[in-house]
A and B are shown apart, each in its own frame.
Chain A
Amino acid sequence: MKINRSKESIYQLLAQVPDPEIPVVNIIEMGMIRDVIVTPEKVEVFLCPTYSGCPAMDMIESMVKEKLLASGVLNVLVTLVYKPAWTTDWMNAQTKEKLRAFGIAPPVGKVLSKKSLLANETVACPQCRSENTKIKSMFGSTACKALYTCSDCLEPFDYFKCI
């Protein structure tokens, strides 16, 4: 059976696949889909892992396959790409706002060099927006997050690290 789909229609389907750990954003918004190649024989999806050890990778891969299979695309190949390395710079302002509304402080600034990667940026509390916050731990509930607390509303929160 030949595949007669446009690249756009595949992207529309992929936009329905949420990030399993942050369900308010999809894998395209996260910048994880690097390319899609549609041939009459198969659809190849190029997926970029966020962290080397991201435990959600296998799940994302099977969710991508499931979504495309369910829509009738029977031959799906998911290829992992490491280069260029995934970066939080690929998230746009809307995606960052979605993260904030979900209670995760979005990455602050851009990753340009090792220096900015480790700069102690001011992270605003996603609840009360106070900038009076403290880092509790550089490593949070998942590999991509750090743990902060707000000194004003006293809520603990996750910060999506710049990487």
Chain B
Amino acid sequence: MDDLNLSKFCIRLGDHCLIMAHRQSELCSKGPFLEEDIAQINLGLDLLGQAEALLIYAAKLEGKGRTADDLAFRRSERQFHNFMLTEQPNTDFAFVIVRQYFMSLYLLKTYQVLAEVEDETLSGIALKALKELTYHERHLSMWILRLGDGTDESQQRMQTAVNELWMFVGELYEEDALDLLAQQASYAPKGEEMKSFLMAQITAKFAEASLTIPESIYMTTGSKQGIHTEYLGFLLTEMQYLQRAYPDAKW
């Protein structure tokens, strides 16, 4: 992969992390209890750190003089490439857990592959992130079991979240030209490999948690071309407010 394509590849991954980090930050002071509030913010903090490292590298590779902050705060919806799953709102706690659980699996697999690449910067970011994601996946799995296999109410809410979010899972193993380039360079797993990893993990976890994968759901797509659900615009409006209202503001 040349620098420009590698930059685009890093922006995609950085965008997933950035948008999830913002969603997680929205939970601050709104967690179901104090310890969990702190835990959810910590997940967000790790993701924000990963986003920053990836976007700094993407900006450097791009070589157009943009900074990581420019990438985060000066792009609009159509220029973001995060999966639609990542921008879905914190409708209730079940939605948070299901969204983050699916993404933690995706990131685990993604970073496992990236940890092996020759590019020192990317493999360094991936090795560090892998340790963090291992904790995330463990924490989220615990909630999948606890709520899925909990009361009738918690089970029903979890199943609702799964049903509502399932249509966004297809994007996680979809492939476009950039993905194929990344796969050729061994920077990303094949779509089929990602799909079978996700399905094996989710199927096993759901069996334990009394949850079911919905059948014949239409899988939506578009984020790789900058197409998003309506939620991203609202998220960016808040996330980018300061930089939009006071460009180049400094402390």
Contacts of A125 in B (CB 8 A): none
Q: Does B38 lie within 8 Å of A163, measured CB to CB?
A: no
Q: Is B76 an interface residue (CB 8 A)?
A: no
Q: Does B131 lie within 8 Å of A53, measured CB to CB?
A: no
Shortest Cβ gap from A112 to chain B (Å) = 12
What is the CA–CA distance of A84 and B134 in the complex, to the nearest angstrom?
17
Shortest Cβ gap from B24 to chain A (Å) = 11
Q: Is A4 an interface residue (CB 8 A)?
A: no
What is the CA–CA distance of A55 and B48 in the complex, to the nearest angstrom?
10
Of chain B, the residue at the smallest CB distance from A146 is B135
Shortest Cβ gap from A79 to chain B (Å) = 12
Tell me the residues in window 109-163 of chain A with beta carbons closer than 8 Å to chain B beta carbons: 111, 114, 117-118, 136-141, 143, 147, 161, 163
Q: Does A143 lie within 8 Å of B46, measured CB to CB?
A: yes
Q: Does A139 lie within 8 Å of B39, measured CB to CB?
A: yes
Q: Does B120 lie within 8 Å of A53, measured CB to CB?
A: no
> Taking chain A's interface residues, is the majority helix, strand, or loop, or is none over half, making it mixed?
loop
Given known contacts A55-B45, A143-B45, is B120 in contact with A138 (CB within 8 Å)? no
Of chain B, the residue at the smallest CB distance from A87 is B131
Q: Does B124 lie within 8 Å of A53, measured CB to CB?
A: no
Given known contacts A51-B46, A55-B45, is B127 in contact with A85 (CB within 8 Å)? yes
Chain A interface residue count, CB cutoff 8 Å, equals 26
Given known contacts A51-B132, A86-B128, is B38 in contact with A137 (CB within 8 Å)? yes
Contact for A138 among B121, B123, B129, B138, CB less than 8 A: B138
Contacts of B21 in A (CB 8 A): 53
Q: Does B50 lie within 8 Å of A117, measured CB to CB?
A: no
Contacts of A62 in B (CB 8 A): none
Of chain A, the residue at the smallest CB distance from B40 is A139
Contacts of B46 in A (CB 8 A): 51-53, 143
Q: Is B227 an interface residue (CB 8 A)?
A: no
A residues adjacent to B (C-beta < 8 A): 49, 51-55, 81-86, 111, 114, 117-118, 136-141, 143, 147, 161, 163
12 contacts between A and B (CB under 8 A): A51-B45, A51-B128, A52-B49, A52-B132, A82-B124, A83-B120, A83-B127, A85-B131, A137-B35, A139-B38, A143-B46, A147-B35
